[in-house]
Amino acid sequence: MSQSSKSPIQYRAVLSKSMPFESQSHKKNYADEVTSAAAFDDAYAISMHSKQLIEIDNNAKPPFHFQLPDTRLAVKDFFRTREVAEFVSGALAGAMTKAVLAPLETIRTRMVVGVGSKQIAGSFIEVIEQQGWQGLWAGNAINMVRIVPTQAIEFGTFEWVKRTMTAAQERWSKKERSSVHIGPVNLHLSLSWISPVAVGGAAAGVVSTLACHPLEVLKDRLTISPEVYPNLSVAVSTIYRDGGLGAFYAGISPTLVGMLPYSTSYYFMYETVKNAYCLKKKKKSLNRIEMLLVGALSGFTASTISFPLEVARKRLMVGALQGKCPPNMAAAITEVVREEGLKGLYRGWGASCLKVMPSSGITWMFYEAWKDILLVNKNHI
C-alpha cells in the first residue's frame, strides 16, 4: 500500500514508528506532523458523519405527509341504500307521469284559477286555438324540473318516516310503558294510536312543499300567462324584480294548510286499501293494474277532501296577475263564496279529478315498478 493511499490513522501510526527522536528539531517536526495528521483525521470523520446524516435525511418522509381517504367504497354503499333507491324511484315515477299528463295539468290549472272556459272541452279548444297543440304543454319544462325533486323528496320522506315510526312503536311496545300519575288518575302512554302511514304522509307533504314551492309558483305563472312569462329565465327575473325572494313563496301558508289533509289522506288511503285488499285476496302485493286503480282511488279521495283549500291556494298564488290578491286563505275562500257561492269552492273539481286520478294511479304504478327494479332485484327489501 502506498503512503498516499493510507488513511489518516494509518499514516499517524507509520509516523510514530519511522521517526527517530535524535534532536529537538526532529521532535518538533514530528509533533507538527502528528498534529496535522490528527486534524486531517478529525476532518475526515466529520465529513463521513455528515454524509451519513445527509443520506438519512434523503430517505426520511416529509414532516407534513397528508393522504386523502379513499371514499369510493363509502359512496358506492350509499347509492345502494334503500333510501336512495326510494328517492330515485320517486323522481323517475314523477317525471314519467308528468310527461304523459301535462295537458290535463294545464287545463286543470286554468279552470281552478278561473281563466277561460268553465268547461273541460272548451278549455282544451281555447288553448289549441290560441297557442296551438304545444300550448297544452305550456310550463311543462318547469313542471318537469319541479316534479322530479318534489316526488323524490315526497316518496323518500314518506317511506323513511313510516319506517322510523313503525320501528319506534315496536321498540316502545317491548319496553315497560311510561305512565303519568295525576292524583288518582294513572295515564299510560302509548304510541299504538299513531298511524305511521298518516305521519309519513303529512311529513312528506310538508317537506316537499317547503323544498319545492318556488318551482310551483314558476310553473303556475308560466302556465297562466305565457305572454308575460315566455320562458323560465324571464319568469325568474320578473318575479324577483317585482317581489324579491318572498315572491317565490307566495301562498306558502295556504299551500302547507292544504297539503296536510291532502298528503295525509293520499298516502293513508293508498296504504290502507292496498293492505286490506292484499289481506283479503291472500297475496303479498298488487299487480300493476291494481296499483293503478288503488292509486287513482287514493288521489280522488284526497283531492275531494282538500279541494276547497286548493282553490284558495291557487287564488293566492296567481291573484297578482289579475290585479287582486286576497290577503290570506280565509279571505280567498270568502271571496270565492261571495262571487260564486259554495259551488265555487269546487269549481274545476271535475278537471282536477280528471288529472289527479290518472296521475296518482300512474305515479304509484311507476313508483312500485321502479322499487321492484332497484330494491327487490338487489335484495334490499
What pLDDT shows up at residue 62? 54
The answer to whether residues 303 and 352 touch, using CB atoms and an 8 Å cutoff, is: yes
Reply yes or no on whether the pLDDT at 229 is more than 50. yes
Residue 185 pairs in a beta bridge with: 182
Which of these, 301, 198, 312, lies nearest to 255 by C-alpha position? 312
Q: Which DSSP state fits 234?
A: H
In tens, the pLDDT along 189-209 reads: 666 778 999 999 999 999 999
Count the domains in the chain: 1
Rounded mean pLDDT, 178-195:
68
Would residue 338 count as lying in a domain? Answer: yes
Would residue 243 count as lying in a domain? Answer: no
What pLDDT shows up at residue 75? 62
Would residue 59 count as lying in a domain? Answer: no
Would residue 193 count as lying in a domain? Answer: no
Q: Please give the Cα distance from 325 to 132 (Å, whole number).
A: 30
Would residue 264 count as lying in a domain? Answer: yes
Q: Please give the Cα distance from 308 to 71 (Å, whole number).
A: 50
What pLDDT shows up at residue 15? 45
Q: Dihedral sign for Cα 202, 263, 206, 330, please.
A: negative
Would residue 123 count as lying in a domain? Answer: no
11 confidence band (pLDDT: 50, 70, 90): very low
Most confident of 3-17, 49-63, 113-127, 282-296: 282-296
What pLDDT shows up at residue 21? 44
What pTM was estimated for this model as a whole? Answer: 0.67
DSSP 11-63: HHHHHHHH----SHHHHHHHHHHHHHHHHHHHHHHHHHHHHHHHHHHHHSPPS
In tens, the pLDDT along 350-381 reads: 877 877 899 899 999 999 999 988 886 555 44
Residue 187 pairs in a beta bridge with: 180
In tens, the pLDDT along 37-64 reads: 555 555 555 555 544 444 444 445 555 5
Burial class (CB in 10 A: 0-12, 13-18, 19+), 142: buried
Q: Please give the Cα distance from 301 to 201 (Å, whole number).
A: 14
Q: Please give the Cα distance from 300 to 176 (Å, whole number).
A: 42
Would residue 19 count as lying in a domain? Answer: no
Residue 335: domain span: 251-347
Would residue 317 count as lying in a domain? Answer: yes
**Residue found by looking up cell 502506498 in the block:** 2
Q: What percent of the residues of the chain are helix, what percent strand, and what percent coil, each to the nearest 5?
A: 80, 0, 20
Distances (CA, A) of 317 to 110, 184, 221, 309: 13, 53, 9, 12
Which of 92 and 380 is assigned the larger pLDDT?
92
Tell me the percentage of the chain whose pLDDT exceeds 70: 69
When the pLDDT of each residue in the chain is averaged and rounded to a whole number, the result is 77
What pLDDT shows up at residue 182? 67
Reply yes or no on whether the pLDDT at 302 is more than 70. yes
Residue 181 pairs in a beta bridge with: 186
Q: What single-letter amino acid sits at 232?
A: L
What pLDDT shows up at residue 186? 64
- At residue 251, the 3 state secondary structure works out as coil
292 confidence band (pLDDT: 50, 70, 90): very high
